[in-house]
Amino acid sequence: MKRIAVLTSGGDCPGMNAAIRSVVRTALSKGIEVYGIEQGYKGLIEGEFRKLESKDVANIIQKGGTFLRSARSERFKTEEGQKEAIKNLEKHNIDGLVVIGGDGSLRGATVLCGKYGVNVIGIPGSIDNDIYGTDMSIGVDTALNTIVRCIDSINDTASSHDRTFLIEVMGRNCGYLALMSAIAGGAEAVLIPEVPYNIEKIIEKIKKRYEEGKTRSIVIVAEGVGSAYDFGKVFGMIGGFETRITVLGHLQRGGSPTVFDRTLATRMGAFAVETLLDGTGCGKMVALQKTKMELVDLNDVLNKKKELDPKLLEIAEILSN
């Protein structure tokens, strides 16, 4: 293997730059040329390749987002688009490809590997932490820290005005961000798609808090269960608590990555290159499992569902009382 390429696809997340940096410098240290593909699969189809040297990835480890940029490509889902992508990989003599991204990105990697025989390895990059096979994906820790900082700030104003705040967080159909931020942020309730919830019971709980002299309540709402604004209409005025809504939105996807995300991304990038070169990484995804780097088959990643730890649900319920 003489030349590899790397791309970031789908939603951006903090730590992607650290992963790209690690891929580039690890490959260069082994005498392998590296090309960056800009704008993900869209750039792969349109031929947006550029050679990367060590200096090109200097001073990016602390930056959020992805300097290669990202995009979603409907055209790549077509056979015509896929064949154009293969043509560009062959044109640039690419022997191996590293794909950094979430579910859709890894699905594209599986197509390239299974259908066209491309040597592809995936790196999980998604704040949702919904990717099967890895304990943690790049970007999750930073997103959680961002959410908890916001909860802490909202706590101050909620206490000052005797208010209930419904805080909507990202996560698609996975409640991990909501659950973990509720535990770490001291929320009174959390609504997630994995567990049935009882709105009336939550409202009664908040009323009781007001009667006990508490000055505020925080409820975390995962976007997978619906809009916090819709829940806000149901909550209204509870006891003496006015209800306010905060939707954190894309704020959660940006910002400088935490130390954990920088080191996780760096380890994953290096491991991806090493296993791609020794032939064990093709058709696989790099995964963090009990502090170690492991490989998981891409087909398993896409066909199996990651489950929330039931113990965490129990802890959240105990601590919210």
pLDDT in tens, 95-132: 999 999 999 999 999 999 999 999 999 999 999 999 99
How far is it between the farthest Cα atoms of the chain? 71
For 318, counting Cβ atoms within 10 Å of its Cβ (0-12 exposed, 13-18 middle, 19+ buried), the class is exposed
The response to whether 319 counts as a known ligand-binding position is: no
* Angle formed by the axes of helices 199-211 and 228-235, nearest 10°: 60
CA distance linking residue 19 with residue 201, whole number of Å: 44
The response to whether 149 counts as a known ligand-binding position is: no
241 three-class SS = strand
Residue 320: is its pLDDT beyond 90? no
Q: For tokens 């390749």, name the residue.
A: 49
Which pLDDT value is given to residue 90? 98
Continuous segment of H or E residues that includes residue 289: strand 284-289
Is residue 47 within 8 Å of residue 81, measured between CB atoms?
Answer: no
The response to whether 171 counts as a known ligand-binding position is: yes
Query: Which residue out of 12, 128, 130, 141 is catalytically annotated?
Result: 128
The response to whether 128 counts as a known ligand-binding position is: yes
Q: Is 128 a catalytic residue?
A: yes
Of residues 40, 16, 242, 288, the one with CA closest to residue 296: 288
Distance of CA 173 to the CA centre of its chain: 12
Distance of CA 40 to the CA centre of its chain: 16
Q: What percent of the chain has pLDDT over 70?
A: 100
The response to whether 36 counts as a known ligand-binding position is: no
Is residue 4 within 8 Å of residue 273, measured between CB atoms?
Answer: yes
pLDDT in tens, 191-247: 999 999 999 999 999 999 888 988 889 999 999 999 999 999 998 877 777 899 999
The response to whether 181 counts as a known ligand-binding position is: no
Q: Which domains does the chain have, with CATH numbers?
A: 3-139+257-303 (3.40.50.450), 143-253 (3.40.50.460)
Band of pLDDT at residue 162, cut at 50, 70 and 90: confident
pLDDT in tens, 30-67: 999 999 999 999 999 999 999 999 999 999 999 999 99
CA distance linking residue 266 with residue 161, whole number of Å: 44
The response to whether 57 counts as a known ligand-binding position is: no
Of residues 28, 116, 98, 43, the one with CA closest to residue 76: 43
Q: What is the pTM of this model?
A: 0.95
The response to whether 223 counts as a known ligand-binding position is: yes
The response to whether 29 counts as a known ligand-binding position is: no
The response to whether 117 counts as a known ligand-binding position is: no
20 three-class SS = helix
